[in-house]
Amino acid sequence: IDKNPAQPEFHQAVKEVLESLRVVIEANEEAYRKDALLERLVTPERQLLFRVPWVDDKGQVQVNNAFRVQFNSAIGPYKGGLRLHPSVNLGIIKFLGFEQIFKNSLTGLPIGGGKGGSDFDPKGKSDREVMAFCQSFMTELSKYIGADTDVPAGDIGTGAREIGYMFGQYKRIKGVYEGVLTGKGLSYGGSLARTEATGYGLLYLTEEMLKCNGKDIAGKTIAVSGAGNVAIYAIQKAQQLGAKPVTCSDSTGWIYDPEGIDVALLKEIKEVKRARLTEYAAARPEAQYHEGKGVWSVKVDIALPCATQNELNLEDAKTLVANGCFAVAEGANMPSTIEATEYLQAKGVLFAPGKASNAGGVATSALEMSQNSERLSWTFEEVDSKLKGIMVNIFHNMDDAAKKYGMEGNYVAGANIAGFLKVADAMTAQGIV
């Protein structure tokens, strides 16, 4: 905390991981204390901070802060998304990069941990302004990334449009056509099923978690928060599996649609029109729109937080439990506060942490890297079936790790332990670097 003041989200992520590794570390005290492995693990290999000047439509120069944290490359090139949101600061990028190390390890694929972004807000900007920002951002970032060194992707605020502008600028500056970014459009090296991957993966893991606990997802009512990339495809896959998602939200309000969310309408509003959820309610008379926050107040069997960090607090957790919710699987990164997570676990709610349950996105990004390297494209079915296999595997890896260390059913600990062991082993083998 003294070394990294004013980074509460980073402290929260480190505390959660280290607490759950306590039993593993105590069992191998000598190995993990030796050579300051833990200190190296919580310290990024490299942190890049730079300014992004760009010209807005009025001809005024705007300046944003930008970040790329290359956290850990023990098991592969740095991999992690770029967040564009006014709330972005170094602490948030470090929390995300730290989580990414374990998530990427859990996928079983050769990818290290990193994260980046800027306090630029794409909302309300023209396409030209977004392009001007992305080109200026990539002009600096291109010095530090590459297909074999660091491969960024999308995140909040960075979708297909932004990735396209960034990829174009990277190619222009470097003069090489390589898979330096994932989440690309299908016409220039993107992977089928990448758009759907995080939401679909979340549901594949949730389905497996329920199955292994004697429950079935079909027929269940689900609360989803968010209305972005993760939320939309989580809702779609939940419906395909026979469940009924009844809520979604954005940063201004939320929808309760007792008949079940109309995904086609939601996609039209969010992906095409880039509009607010008030338009959803206007088009669906049976749906209710509420200002502010509130999806967790609805009576549901399962909750899938898919918007942002710390959006499900202790009060929300109590309401969910009181309403009979028996499973929570995180689509977003660290959407539940530590207090909420502990409460849900104490009440016997099945709880899948984001670093496991939302790993489908980065896993499919790694599959995009494989396709780019072999200059081939796989079919949707091929990618989707690999994704499903990866998510089922992740569930069993964290389940087995929890059991092995005497914490059966504690998937938070299981995910941290399984992710950590592989990275720690690789770091030890590679010496003090």
Provide the minimum distance between the beta carbon of 198 and ligand NDP in the complex, in angstroms, as a whole number: 4
Angle, alpha carbons 75-98-411 (nearest 5°): 90
Among 234, 246, 304, 332, binds ligand NDP (CB under 6 A): 332
> 416: annotated binding-site residue?
no
Place of tokens 């200002």: 291
Of 19-27, 69-77, 155-163, 399-407, which segment contacts ligand NDP by CB under 6 A? 155-163
Buried b (16+ CB within 10 A) or exposed e, 263-288: beebbebbeeeeebbebbbeebeebe
> 79: annotated binding-site residue?
yes
Of 17-25, 209-217, 247-255, 380-388, which segment contacts ligand NDP by CB under 6 A? 247-255
For the chain, the distance separating the N- and C-terminal CA atoms, rounded to the nearest angstrom, is 23
> 158: annotated binding-site residue?
no
User: Which residue stretches of 107-159 are H helix?
Assistant: 127-141
358 binds ligand NDP (CB under 6 A): yes
424 binds ligand NDP (CB under 6 A): no
Query: Residue 181, SS3?
Result: coil
Among 226, 245, 353, 414, binds ligand NDP (CB under 6 A): 226
Q: Show the tokens assigned to 78.
A: 């740095």
Place of tokens 């992977």: 191
* Ranges within 77-96 binding ligand NDP (CB under 6 A): none
394 binds ligand NDP (CB under 6 A): no
Among 88, 151, 227, 415, binds ligand NDP (CB under 6 A): 227
133 and 54 Cβ atoms separated by less than 8 Å: yes
Strand partners, 352: 329
236 and 196 Cβ atoms separated by less than 8 Å: yes
By beta-carbon proximity to ligand NDP, the closer residue of 307 and 417 is: 307
Buried b (16+ CB within 10 A) or exposed e, 167-198: bebbbeeeeeebbbbbbbeeeebbbbbbbbbb
Place of tokens 């570390």: 25
224 binds ligand NDP (CB under 6 A): no
100 binds ligand NDP (CB under 6 A): no
Known active-site residue 211: no
> 3: annotated binding-site residue?
no
# binding residues, ligand NDP (CB under 6 A): 22
By beta-carbon proximity to ligand NDP, the closer residue of 20 and 308 is: 308
> 214: annotated binding-site residue?
no
By beta-carbon proximity to ligand NDP, the closer residue of 226 and 419 is: 226
107 binds ligand NDP (CB under 6 A): no
The helix or strand, by DSSP H or E, that contains position 24, with its residue range, turns out to be helix 8-27
Binding-site residues for substrate sit at 79, 100, 103, 154, 365
Q: Give residues in contact with ligand NDP (CB under 6 A).
A: 154-157, 198, 226-231, 250-252, 306-308, 331-333, 358, 361
**Annotated active-site positions, please?**
115
Binding-site residues sit at 79, 100, 103, 154, 198, 229, 365
